[in-house]
Amino acid sequence: MSTSIRFLVVDDFSTMRRIIKNFLNDLGYTSIAEADDGKTALPVLKAGDVDFLITDWNMPGMPGLELLREVRGDPATKKLPVLMVTAEAKREQIVEAAQAGVNGYVVKPFTAQTLKEKIDKILASQAAG
Amino acid sequence: MSRYRGVMAKLNHAYAAGDEGTFDDLLGELNSARELSLRTGIAKLSQSLAAALARFQLDSRIAALAGHEIPDARLRLDHVLKMTEEAAHRTLDLIEQAAPLAEVTARDARVLGETLDSRSHSDIRQFLGEVQSNAEKVRANLTEVMLAQGFQDLTGQILHGIRKLIGEVESVLDELAQVSGVPLERVAKLNATDPAGPSVPGVTVNAVANQNDVDDLIAGLGI
């Protein structure tokens, strides 16, 4: 599995971005960009510098679900792997995210094991697909 | 005064006739009529006084809440946000400093173990010095991480105070609603899928209990 994958971590809390970034570093990934909501994430995504998007849902500006829809609606990014890491834990929300085309859903607080599993699973299915 | 006219006429008449019994009766009638109207007046007065007092108390409570206690609570919450963020960053700093030390120590120990037979005493002494120094730094960072958790005491106290304030606001709103006769049930309803932050047991409806639930749900949707 390539560690040159370029991640974009989108979360309005700098501590959470830092935790996910540290964790990705631990897993051997070194290329990690950050954004604090969908609006600041979009230009980075449009520039085509991202292979894997990890996003929160509840953010001021543009929330994660809207970002996901933007990503799926743009031919350039519609196949980008998107993992949602969020405190939003209602069944309706998870179903809605799934219907909007999310590739994985992790509920906060999460363990390192869970996050690793979901990332690995998405990358494996990307490689297979 | 006109309501006394009839009685007064009779009273005059009884006086002129020297009818003491009727005169006394009529005098008593006059007295009690006067007492009754006085009592009604006092009752009305005290009622409106009570209402005015209640309104004044409600007004001054609202004034205190809006003018002082709520802005104050906002500042306290800002402080909670700042403290929790600082504590989280402080903890992450300490972990970022300590993790490489633990990693280097583990790696060097493995390398030394594999090549022990060819190593001199001074190599081993150098390694032991490194282990000691790294372990001391990691130990010191653990103490700092522990101290950084002290934020919970302070933020907890502030949040408790704000929780009490919210209860007070709730009861004032309730009283206001009663005074104005507006039912309190017109709560803006969120859509089921609007982001609402972390789920709270007993508050959030239809939330998953853990990541396994999420995984089951997602798997059921074919992802």
Interval B41-94: pLDDT, tens: 888 888 888 888 888 888 888 888 888 899 999 999 999 999 999 999 999 999
Beta bridge partners of A55: A10, A84
Closest C-alpha to A121, from A104, A96, A102, A97: A104
Residues 6+ apart with CB under 8 A from B164: none
The pLDDT value recorded for residue B189 is 65
**pTM of this structure:** 0.74
Nearest chain B residue to A107, by CA = B211
Q: What is the pLDDT of residues A21-52, one digit of tens each?
A: 999 998 999 999 999 999 999 999 999 999 99
Element (H, E) at B132: helix B121-148
Contact A83, A52 (CB under 8 A): yes
Percentage of chain A with pLDDT > 90?
Answer: 89
Percentage of chain B with pLDDT > 90?
Answer: 46
Contact A119, A105 (CB under 8 A): no
Q: What is the pLDDT of residues A55-106, one digit of tens each?
A: 999 999 999 999 999 999 999 999 999 999 999 999 999 999 999 999 999 9
**Beta-carbon separation of A107 and B210 below 8 A:** yes
Pick A58's closest partner by Cβ from B85, B92, B197: B197
The pLDDT value recorded for residue B184 is 63
Q: How confident is the model at residue A122 (pLDDT cuts 50, 70, 90)?
A: very high
In whole numbers, what is the pLDDT of chain A averaged over residues? Answer: 94
Q: With an 8 Å Cβ cutoff, is B200 touching chain A?
A: no
Residues of chain B under the 70 pLDDT cut = 1, 183-190
Closest C-alpha to B171, from B157, B184, B161: B184
3-state secondary structure of A129: coil
Q: Are strands A82-86 and A104-107 parallel, antiparallel or unpaired?
A: parallel
Closest C-alpha to A32, from A11, A53, A14: A53
By the 10 Å C-beta count (0-12 exposed, 13-18 middle, 19+ buried), B204 is classed as: middle
